[in-house]
A and B are shown apart, each in its own frame.
Chain A
Amino acid sequence: MELSIHLTEKNNSLVIHLSGEIDAYTAPQLKERLLPLTKQNGTLIKVDMEAVQYMDSTGLGVFISALKSTKENNSKMKLIHIDERVYRVFKITGLDEIMDLEPRNKVERRNG
């Protein structure tokens, strides 16, 4: 399974659209794209997880290292439209309490 990564800029914030699976094979790709963005002072990076159905703990590692980098570089990161199953991984590891996460809203999806 592949992971495709698209970057768009909207209202002065960066949005990374991810699509596919984040696992040991695709995580290095994500790290390579995401980490440099967190190093730009004052940026807000939104990671759109709408099309991510699977993420293993290696993917979590990438977001943890991005989180550490946002703290060092005064940037911000928010994960949006997170699938229920993927959200569970953030919850178990306790990351839901220290990261800006927004689960997927089923109602909103149907209407939008």
Chain B
Amino acid sequence: MGKVVHSNIENYKSLLKNYIANQDEQSLYGVDMVSKSFLKNNILPEEIVNLHIQVLQELYPDLSEDIKHSMDFLLEAMISYGIKQQEIQTLKEQQMAIKSEISVAASMQETLLKADIPSIDGLEIGAISVPAHQMNGDYYHFVKGKNGTLGLAIADVIGKGIPAALCMSMIKYAIDSYPEESMAPKMILENLNRVVERNVDSSMFITMIYAQYLPQSRRLIFSSAGHEPGYYYNKANDRFEELKTKGLALGVLPDVQYQEYRVDLDQDDMVIFLTDGVTECREEGQFIEVDEVLDVIKRFKDHPAQEIVNQVYKHFERLQGFQLRDDFTLIILRKKV
């Protein structure tokens, strides 16, 4: 580094000499290069002024005292800029460190929250979840019960970024710790609400649908904690129906009771769950209506469930001016033989 700096000092000297003689563009371009190299090597502004003084004295041994004093004055004036520059350097380094920590955290979150899609008799499952930023505030989770039932959670943590992601892990481990007997959707939400209300920052909350599928009765039982409504696709009449639910988001009040709802599935019926990230994306200022999501699902209804959810994401990704403002999560369950 010392060598580089030294050669630049020599360079500065000859460029200045040239410029004083000719006022040429070449020298100006040259000094621009030199100054970039100084920056790279953390040379402070006052050091450059100091260099300038030395070069001037070499070139003009009879330099007037007044000019010399004025240069010393300029040197003093540059010192604060030097301190700022050093601060920026430190901040840059800190930012790099934080960035790399976040990416470690993001990949850790991915591992922690990894949701395998289980195979359930007579049920086809498709799921996609795409974060808008590095860390995902959406979450889905499947649990397969001993008697062949399926437990499904879809959630959106409000409050973005790292705090939201940390909260997600808390939820996952709380769900995992419940014994199988108490997997009824309303019980799960009531328990989770207490966990979230006690542990979370006052402006953070979670919306969630917890559903349980019972293969023997082909019945889906679900409860909603303030979550975007799901949809039921009835194959027989080729129509979607909103699954109307009531229930307060998790973490708002300490004691909340949730209601249970049910829908019985016939062959090729579907249930669609999503997070509001899906409907909060905007197309050139226009909101995407949920109808559009359902239209795309209908268009691909003869494809496997996983392909349908992929196609919906692709459809919105392709839209002009598409901007993923929020995490995007979509789950489709389809009754099969």
Residues of A within 8 A of B (CB): 23-24, 31, 56-58, 60-62, 64-65, 67-69, 85, 92-95, 97-98
Asked if B252 contacts A64 (CB within 8 A), the reply is yes
A65-B228 contact given A58-B158, A58-B159, CB 8 Å threshold: no
Residue in A56, A58, A92 whose Cβ sees the most chain B Cβ within 10 Å: A92
Question: Interface 1/0s, chain B 289-328, versus A by CB < 8 A?
Answer: 0000000000000000000000000000000000001100
Asked if A65 contacts B253 (CB within 8 A), the reply is no
B22 CB to nearest chain A CB (Å): 52
- With a cutoff of 8 Å between Cβ atoms, the chain B residues found around residue A61 in the complex are 158-159, 203-205
* A66 CA / B250 CA spacing, docked (Å): 16
Asked if A98 contacts B229 (CB within 8 A), the reply is no
* A64 CA / B196 CA spacing, docked (Å): 14
* A78 CA / B136 CA spacing, docked (Å): 33
Q: Nearest A residue to B287 by beta-carbon distance?
A: A85
Asked if A95 contacts B226 (CB within 8 A), the reply is yes
A60-B229 contact given A94-B247, A95-B248, A98-B248, CB 8 Å threshold: no
**Quick check: is B198 within 8 A (CB to CB) of the other chain?**
no
**Quick check: is B207 within 8 A (CB to CB) of the other chain?**
yes
Asked if A56 contacts B280 (CB within 8 A), the reply is yes
- With a cutoff of 8 Å between Cβ atoms, the chain B residues found around residue A58 in the complex are 158-160
Q: Nearest A residue to B226 by beta-carbon distance?
A: A93
Q: Which of A31, A65, A68, A94 contacts B249 (CB 8 A)?
A: A94
* 11 A–B pairs (Cβ distance < 8 Å), ordered by A: A31-B203, A57-B158, A61-B158, A64-B202, A67-B252, A68-B252, A92-B226, A92-B228, A92-B276, A93-B205, A94-B226
* A61 CA / B159 CA spacing, docked (Å): 7
B286 CB to nearest chain A CB (Å): 12
Question: Interface 1/0s, chain B 212-245, versus A by CB < 8 A?
Answer: 0000000000000111110000000000000000
- With a cutoff of 8 Å between Cβ atoms, the chain B residues found around residue A64 in the complex are 202-203, 205, 249, 251-252
Residues of B within 8 A of A (CB): 156, 158-160, 201-205, 207, 225-229, 246-249, 251-253, 276, 280, 287, 325-326
Q: Nearest A residue to B132 by beta-carbon distance?
A: A24
Q: Nearest A residue to B204 by beta-carbon distance?
A: A61
Q: Which of A56, A60, A93, A97 contacts B325 (CB 8 A)?
A: A56
B334 CB to nearest chain A CB (Å): 25
Which 10 residue pairs of A and B lie closest in terms of their CB atoms, listed nearest first? A93-B226, A94-B248, A65-B203, A65-B202, A61-B203, A57-B158, A93-B249, A94-B226, A68-B202, A61-B158
- With a cutoff of 8 Å between Cβ atoms, the chain A residues found around residue B202 in the complex are 64-65, 68-69
Q: Which of B156, B160, B248 contacts A97 (CB 8 A)?
A: B248
- With a cutoff of 8 Å between Cβ atoms, the chain A residues found around residue B158 in the complex are 57-58, 60-61
B204 CB to nearest chain A CB (Å): 6
Asked if A92 contacts B248 (CB within 8 A), the reply is no
* A10 CA / B287 CA spacing, docked (Å): 36
* A69 CA / B203 CA spacing, docked (Å): 10
A24-B160 contact given A94-B246, A94-B247, CB 8 Å threshold: yes
- With a cutoff of 8 Å between Cβ atoms, the chain B residues found around residue A60 in the complex are 158, 205
Asked if A92 contacts B229 (CB within 8 A), the reply is yes
- With a cutoff of 8 Å between Cβ atoms, the chain B residues found around residue A98 in the complex are 248, 252-253
* A7 CA / B248 CA spacing, docked (Å): 30
Q: Nearest A residue to B256 by beta-carbon distance?
A: A94
Q: Nearest A residue to B137 by beta-carbon distance?
A: A57
B276 CB to nearest chain A CB (Å): 7
Asked if A93 contacts B159 (CB within 8 A), the reply is no
